[in-house]
Amino acid sequence: MSTEYKKSNGNGKCPVIHGALTESGDTPTAWWPNNLNLDILHQHDTKTNPMDEDFDYKKQVKKLNFKKLEKDLRDLMTDSQEWWPADLGHYGGLMIRMAWHSAGTYRIADGRGGSGTGNHRFAPLNSWPDNTNLDKARRLLWPIKKKYGNKISWADLMILAGNIAYESMGLKMYGFSYGREDIWHPEKDIYWGSEKEWLGEERYDKDGINRSSLENPLAAVQMGLIYVNPEGVGGNPDPLRTAKDVRETFARMAMNDEETCALTAGGHSVGRAHGNGDASKLGAEPEAASIDQQGLGWNRADGGGLGVEQVTSGIEGAWTTHPDKWDNSYFKLLLENEWELKKSPAGANQWEPINMKEEDKPVDLGDPSKRNNPIMTDADMAMKMDPEYRKISEKFYKDHKYFEKTFARAWFKLTHRDMGRRVNYIGPNAPKEDLIWQDPIPKNKFKIKNKDIDVLKNKIAKSGLSVSQLVTTAWASAASFRGSDKRGGANGARICLAPQKDWKVNNPSQLSKVIKVLEKIKKSFDSKKKQVSLADLIVLAGGVGIEKAAKDVGKKIKVPFSQGRGDASQDQTDIHSFGLLEPKADAFRNYADADHSEIAEEMLIDKAQLMNLTGPEMTVLIGGMRVLGANYDNSKHGVFTKKVGKLSNDFFVNLLDMDTEWKEVSPKEDLFEGKDRKTGKVKWTATRSDLIFGSNSQLRAFAEVYACEDAKDKFISDFVNAWTKVMNLDRFDLR
């Protein structure tokens, strides 16, 4: 018998008998690629996490010797290694690029991406063309990660390395916060684009002329890039066209023109690009490299490609006179010289100066006695050619201190945007200033007693507000939360402020009536000695509604309530930025914007994931919200009960009733009627967000649990637990 091992490649069979599906493409649902991906609700669970159950990173990181760690990082910057030599003896440019590319995936549309999880270690990010050789930066950091162990996460370490790099080169940073907790496998929920090849051109309408037509929620122009193509739109140099891409992509990362210009210039004020060689000689990226490469990629088979021979972007050269020092030579060189298109040794398009003074040129990477032309990318030239960016560039050139301050604050925003409010910040260098993009909330100075909470609950119960009104208001307040960037939630009571109070999904006319009643209760309760925040009162009121709904089915319960929320002001709310949290759909309220094109059940899964819900939690919440009458605008779709306002499991019982036959009744296939099979009489109406719990096999399995005769108590208990979780999603102070 032959013992030869042959890897199966789809054309043949593996002679070794194994029954496991060991390749990522071989999944049970691969036959049905359009099936719902419920896996995104169950990622990052305890089975993939190697840490002990009681491991708390926020507690561990506080045990760090912060000064010692930062000194070690400073020493690393100039400790050049033979296996990957530092440019001019300094790793600063490499570390800054790593930090930037880790944080720069953030996008405002859904809050996904960013540096908050250490996802940069995993596919696809670790193998994007734009991240070529950043695997080397992480390996250079490994001795430090190894030394400090689990007291420092990769997510924190990568960003901290960028900060220390700048400081070691002479820039005073605005600040840094620890507190980013690592994940242990790629984030399965993030849509990076539909392209099947790197650097494809598929994200724009038709011919791609309208650059604002970039597909949402994406913020990069091509698959495998962080922002824009450094050689120009589609690889064709044209600074004015590139300026449009730069403005759009940076806006989608929450940056204005001044911040964009500062980040572009500050990122290229140190370090250099690499393209002094033949790019075709580079080996496969990390995820495709052979096992002997041990997780590294882009290595040349001949062992070359180090130092002066390195190829990364393909662009070759430094932007400034002294790429290992922070100074203002970026603007001096950019604005005081004329530039022309050239080709790098690797064949990339780049801009080089015409007749530049020899003393302004950076020294050669391999021979310090020589000087070479600096370079600019198309994005750099946009800072000079675009009229608005030009004004800002000239301002920065004239006032270096202002540029430094603007860049340092923009860099902090870039690297901390997905960390949420300041309450999540850890460490001695965390700024104390409240910044508008952090969605600040004043601290509630009062702690009310249990007897006072009972008084408030009694006032709410007697206010005349219905179960539906109480529940929908609390939900509308809390369900704005998204775990991707830790924004939204009930804390702050922004449901009472613009823009959230005017969101269509919140039924503004009804909402205002409920808020007025609750404000009246608050006013009658508050005194100099005790006060309740409106944020707390809204959540408490939701609990009162649920307790009544349970009582009406013979179940006495107490919905957990944790006080301590504060009330934000309108001045503490960035209307435009916060407005991006407005949902196109909220299946929990059976709401979908009329203009949406996405499939309802996919939007349901998307929102549930952003709210950190599991499949069972999502299921039980849907069933409870329907019977409580919490639909948008009092719609009857999915309200499979004759006892609206009572916390029963009727939704599941009637959904799974085989005496009901369902048929589509709308051209968009989003509305359905359920008729009695015998009489033909319409019993119920439903949306796709309702029927998916009977259609999808996995969701049906969850629904069956709650439809059983012995599940009535379990349904109520699970609903209350899931509800409480939603109400406390943004209570970072409780964790």
Catalytic residues: 101
Q: At what angle do helices 600-610 and 615-627 cross, to 10 degrees?
A: 110
| Both tokens assigned to 141 | 């950091």
Place of tokens 């919490």: 630
Give the residue among 401, 419, 435 at the shortest CA–CA distance from 172.
401
- 546 contact partners, CB below 8 Å, separation of at least 6: 467, 471, 557, 559, 628, 647, 719, 720, 723
Distance CA 137, CA 145 (A): 12
| Both tokens assigned to 604 | 């349901």
Burial of 9 (0-12, 13-18, 19+ CB in 10 A): exposed
Q: At what angle do helices 257-268 and 239-251 cross, to 10 degrees?
A: 110
Distance CA 111, CA 729 (A): 15
C-beta separation of 525 from 532 below 8 A: yes
Tell me the three state secondary structure of residue 319: coil
Helical H segments across 235-310, by residue range: 239-251, 257-268
Distance CA 498, CA 494 (A): 7
Distance CA 483, CA 606 (A): 11
Triad 332, 337, 343: Cα angle to 5°: 110
State the number of CA atoms in the 13 A half-sphere of 732 facing the CB: 20
- What's the Cα-to-Cα distance from 544 to each of 455, 522, 547, 734, rounded to whole Å? 12, 15, 5, 22
Distance CA 333, CA 375 (A): 10
C-beta separation of 727 from 698 below 8 A: no
The 8 Å CB, 24+ separation contacts for 463-466 are: 463/517, 463/518, 463/521, 464/517, 465/514, 465/517, 465/541, 465/545, 466/545, 466/629, 466/645
DSSP 487: B
State phi, psi for 661 to the nearest 5 degrees. Answer: -110, 130
Q: Give the strand pairing for 682-687 and 585-586.
A: unpaired
State the maximum Cα–Cα separation within the chain, in Å, rounded to a whole number.
94
Query: Can you say whether the dihedral through the CA atoms of 24, 29, 35, 39 is positive or negative?
Result: negative
Strand partners for 81 = 84
C-beta separation of 179 from 419 below 8 A: yes
C-beta separation of 475 from 601 below 8 A: no
Give the residue among 316, 335, 232, 237 at the shortest CA–CA distance from 275.
316
